[in-house]
Amino acid sequence: MAEVVLFHHVQGLTEGVRTIAETLRRAGNVVHTPDLLEGRTFATLDEGMAHVQELGFGTVLERGRALADGYDAGVVYAGISLGVLPAQMLAQTRTGAKGAVLLEACVPVSEFGDAWPDAVPVQVHGMDADPSFAGEGDLDAARELVDSTPDAELFVYPGDRHLFTDPSLPSYEPEAAALVTERVIRFLDGIR
């Protein structure tokens, strides 16, 4: 069993994100779902992104840091797309982090420090033709992370959908999402 802080994507804390959290709970984990957008959800990726750009990515990161202060430091930080920003930041900078799960995004390790911390395992998942993940450098950042970190795994799925893991969105891809879930649960089972 692991304790997980799961940060949602740019469309907010959707029913799909809650479903993902519940699936991880049923597998025996404790999962927290902090809300970075203060209760707001958005019907489209573009609407959510417009709101986040208005807020500023720095605000999202600070909200993530503040929300994480309410949890034990010894957790796994997980994020979906936008939620990867605070998850990766906290996994890299917070002493005691137990691991990280980065879904559909990854930023260069240099964004939050010099190197990925020792003894913090990490998984990255994304689609090979997703314009956001593959087309904006996240896949390259994930490959660099895996190449430089002994306890890192990268899983790439065929497809061009972004937010394919959220079952409440039209971009949901059930077969790939099921494989992501299986791999994440196995990862969490290995956290001590």
Q: Report the CATH number at residue 98.
A: 3.40.50.1820
Q: For residue 22, what are its two tokens?
A: 């519940």
pLDDT at res. 192: 79
Q: Which domain holds residue 64?
A: 3-189
CA dist., res. 176 & res. 163, Å (int): 11
pLDDT at 73 over 90: no
Cα–Cα dist 84/27, whole Å: 22
- Helices 84-93 & 57-68, crossing angle to 10 degrees? 60
pLDDT reported for residue 1: 84
Nearest partner of 69 among 117, 32, 40, 106, judged by Cα: 32
More confident residue, 73 or 93: 93
- Whether 148 shows a pLDDT value over 90: the answer reads yes
Domains: count for the chain: 1
Q: What is the pLDDT confidence band of residue 77, given thresholds at 50, 70 and 90?
A: very high
Separation CA 112–CA 169 (nearest Å): 30
Structure-block tokens of residue 45: 């990726």
